[in-house]
Amino acid sequence: MKGTMLYGARDVRYEDRPDPIIVDPTDAIIKLSATCVCGSDLWPYRGIDPTVEPRAMGHEYVGIVEEVGKDVKHIQKGQFVVGSFFASDNTCEICRSGYQTACVQRQPGAPTGAQAQYARIALADGTLVPTPALPDADLVPSLLSASDVFGTGWFAADAAAVGPGKTVAVVGDGGVGLCGVLAAKQMGAERIIVMSRHPERQKLALEFGATDIVSERGDEGVAKIKELTRGLGAHSTIEAVGTQESMMQAIQSTRAGGHVGFVGVLHDVTIQGLPFFFSHVHLHGGPAPVRRYLPQMMELILNGKINPGKVFDLTLPLSEVAEGYRAMDERRAIKTLLQP
């Protein structure tokens, strides 16, 4: 098959790769219907996370089951499935509490890489959720988004305790931040303030349910959020970037007793104890346990209630994956969908 490898900073290659095979009896092999480039893929792409040896890329996927291992009981050949970037048994105590990303059997969901024609999926019964029937092609982008970007935005909103009547601030206007807006709207938020300077992203934010746009950043951004919330700050803040500045902006934009849900991978971030102590915010986040939310998200998508697939503003053949990375790196695209 063909698949995507990263050899070093900005060196993405679409090349011949071994066909994935069943390794563990709980594995499945899927034929990718669609895959995409993640904001987190840009960390190694940019060389911030160094690439020690060439690695298979991609962890967001939807596809058709080609084969299952002998211990797979529920997932069947021919099903259209959505899965998460972490494989989970979905039966352990941690999974049952909703933290499938910390499953006692946790492992990468698509260890052979999902930016490929085929992928091996670990712990198939726990990891994959099938659709009742083959979905229409126009639903595929949204179903794909559920596997990470939308699922991550949803978790961020949930971790930020978004609910009816709440004022929500969103730090980050990438795919995850925008999906956080859509999730917050679904959860009944009254007001959704998005921090963004990009007209195209602002437009999609408003379409997804944002009520206010703040273009200021840092202390000025915080001051603006305070001004919009009678000096108190947001009830719930979604942090979808993962830098020191964005994390501080999120904490400071939140009122005492409010909640910050953070899903940006915290690179070189340190939280100072004393100001955090007095901020009185709740802080929760990490890698999104997408699996917890998949059934609910997929139902909303299959019923046409939401269309998170709109975050894909660039669609390319999988063979042009390198251009997909470039477009996101240069912020020409919010998120690139790849068609195998």
Q: Greatest CA span in the chain, whole angstroms?
A: 60
Instruction: Give the dihedral sign, CA 16/19/23/27.
Output: positive
Interface with a copy of itself includes 39 (CB under 8 A)? no
Q: Could you count the other beta carbons within 10 Å of the beta carbon of residue 198?
A: 14
Q: Which is nearer to a copy of itself, 43 or 200 (CB)?
A: 43
Interface with a copy of itself includes 281 (CB under 8 A)? yes
- In 104-233, the DSSP E strands lie at 107-108, 118-121, 128-130, 167-171, 191-195, 212-214
Interface with a copy of itself includes 8 (CB under 8 A)? no
Among 13, 55, 267, 332, binds a copy of itself (CB under 8 A): 267
Interface with a copy of itself includes 226 (CB under 8 A)? no
Q: Give, in order, the Cα–Cα distances in Å from 88 to each of 57, 67, 106, 173.
A: 20, 19, 5, 29
The residues in 282-321 that bind a copy of itself, with binding defined as CB under 8 A, are 282-287
Interface with a copy of itself includes 104 (CB under 8 A)? yes
Least Å distance, CB 263 to a copy of itself, is 9
Among 14, 45, 61, 99, binds a copy of itself (CB under 8 A): 99
Report which residue type is found at 290.
Answer: V
Among 102, 223, 302, 322, binds a copy of itself (CB under 8 A): 102
Residue with tokens 């009944």: 188
Interface with a copy of itself includes 231 (CB under 8 A)? yes
Backbone angles phi, psi at 328, to 5 degrees: -75, -40
Interface with a copy of itself includes 270 (CB under 8 A)? yes
Tokens found for residue 324 = 């997909």
Q: Please state, in angstroms and rounded to a whole number, the distance separating the CA atoms of residues 234 and 261.
A: 12
List residues binding a copy of itself (CB under 8 A): 93-94, 97-99, 101-102, 104, 230-232, 242, 247, 255-257, 262, 265-274, 276-287
